Amino acid sequence: MFVDTAKVFVQAGKGGDGAVSFRHEIYVDKGGPDGGDGGRGGDVIFRATTGLNTLVDYRYKPELKAEGGQNGSKSNRRGKSGDNFIVKVPMGTVVKRDGEIIADLIDDGQEVVIARGGDGCFGNAHFKSSVRQTPRIAEKGEVGETFEAELELKLLADVGLVGFPNAGKSTFLSVVSNARPEIADYAFTTLTPNLGVADIDDTSLLIADIPGLIEGASEGKGLGDAFLRHIERTAVLLHLIDVYSDDIAKQYRTIREELRNYSEELATRPEVIALTKAEGLDDDIRQMQIDAVKVEAGADTPIYVISATAHQGTTEVLRSLR
């Protein structure tokens, strides 16, 4: 089950209390203070790993708590520090606190301390002075950081596929890569993002397919708005459009407006356009559709006419995405 958002309660460990203790040895009258310090509370640490691709575990385990430090004891013995709590998350996980990003884990093995444990505090041995020989005070351990964290998963990919529902994105991905997304002849067949690796010449491309966009997607209509975050990190966008669209220029313009409404930065990403499902299409109609899109996209934007099912034009598209 693919889950790309979650809320969790994060609690670092409390520091141990200092001890109040006095030496009790035979033949030693009025032994001095020997209360030890408390141990430090454990941290909550997030670690990115390639072994995960969903946040589903944290939908059902919303509390992430580190171990507290142990209290100090007699004979100036310091309490044991609490163990850190390691939280494994998929690469591409963003951690927010009160809406502000506090961690962005994009590399395998990368670790970030999300919540710091409280310090262990002084036992009474620290409070002895020339005027206070038998202090009966010690400090309480500090409380560890505690807050609700918001987790978001943003897929890491080289290429992001965008377009209307049923534009042929999943078919393209299944043909050029090792991915096997669900494919059917109706809109919104794709309900979750899919990743696939496409090999071309001497390199590989990681391609992300998200559910199709519709007009108003940036405002929450359809499914696309919930998944646009997964193409934010891509280097290039592949915009697929059904070549049989009645108003192909309007379809292109609508998707571009939704991208711009979602993120100005995303809208400036390099783009390649592929007009899909072109098997058996006459050359003059192909050129007519290319010309219509070129008016909107500009002369410098690469435009290809392809048929993924017939394996026509897909290699040229992949080469242009490198």
Domain ranges in the chain are 5-153, 159-321
According to CATH, the superfamily of the domain at 159-321 is: P-loop containing nucleotide triphosphate hydrolases (3.40.50.300)
In which band, very low, low, confident or very high, does the pLDDT at 157 lie, cut at 50, 70 and 90? confident
The answer to whether 69 and 14 are in contact (CB under 8 A) is yes
Residue 271 CB neighbours (<10 A): 19
pTM: 0.77
The answer to whether 269 and 191 are in contact (CB under 8 A) is no
Mean pLDDT score, 159-173: 88
In which band, very low, low, confident or very high, does the pLDDT at 134 lie, cut at 50, 70 and 90? confident
| Residue-level pLDDT at 235 | 92
Find, among 210, 171, 208, 207, the residue nearest to 188 by Cα. Answer: 210
Grouping H, G, I as helix, E, B as strand and the rest as coil, residue 48 is: strand
Find, among 116, 119, 117, the residue nearest to 37 by Cα. Answer: 119
77 forms bridges with which residues in the sheet? 73
The tokens for 153 are 């998963």
What torsion do the CA atoms of 108, 112, 117, 118 make, to the nearest 10 degrees? Answer: 160
In which band, very low, low, confident or very high, does the pLDDT at 186 lie, cut at 50, 70 and 90? very low
Environment class of 263 (CB within 10 Å of its CB; exposed 0-12, middle 13-18, buried 19+): middle
- Distance in angstroms (rounded) separating the CA atoms of residues 21 and 61: 40
Give all strands of the β-sheet with 5-11 in edge-to-edge order: 63-65, 5-11, 146-153, 93-97, 100-105
User: By percentage, how much of the chain surpasses pLDDT 90?
Assistant: 54
Q: For 195-249, write each residue's pLDDT tens digit.
A: 888 999 988 998 988 876 756 555 555 555 567 888 888 999 999 999 999 999 9
Residue 312 CB neighbours (<10 A): 14
Would you list the DSSP string of 211-245? PPP-TTGGGT-TTGGGTGGGGTT-SEEEEEEETT-
| Residue-level pLDDT at 232 | 87
Lowest pLDDT segment from 67-76, 173-182, 259-268, 306-315: 173-182
β-pairing, 44-49 with 85-90?
parallel
242 forms bridges with which residues in the sheet? 276
7 forms bridges with which residues in the sheet? 150
- Distance in angstroms (rounded) separating the CA atoms of residues 19 and 22: 10
Could you give phi then psi for residue 314, rounded to 5 degrees? -70, -35
In which band, very low, low, confident or very high, does the pLDDT at 185 lie, cut at 50, 70 and 90? very low
- Distance in angstroms (rounded) separating the CA atoms of residues 122 and 50: 42
Residue with tokens 């098997």: 279
Q: For 30-88, write each residue's pLDDT tens digit.
A: 678 999 999 999 999 999 999 888 888 888 778 999 999 999 999 899 999 999 999 99
Q: How far is CA 264 from the centre of its chain?
A: 20
Q: How far is CA 269 from the centre of its chain?
A: 20
Question: 5-153, which class in CATH?
Answer: mainly beta
- The mean pLDDT of the chain is 87
Helices (H), 3-130: none
Find, among 144, 153, 146, the residue nearest to 57 by Cα. Answer: 153
280 forms bridges with which residues in the sheet? none
Residue with tokens 């460990």: 13
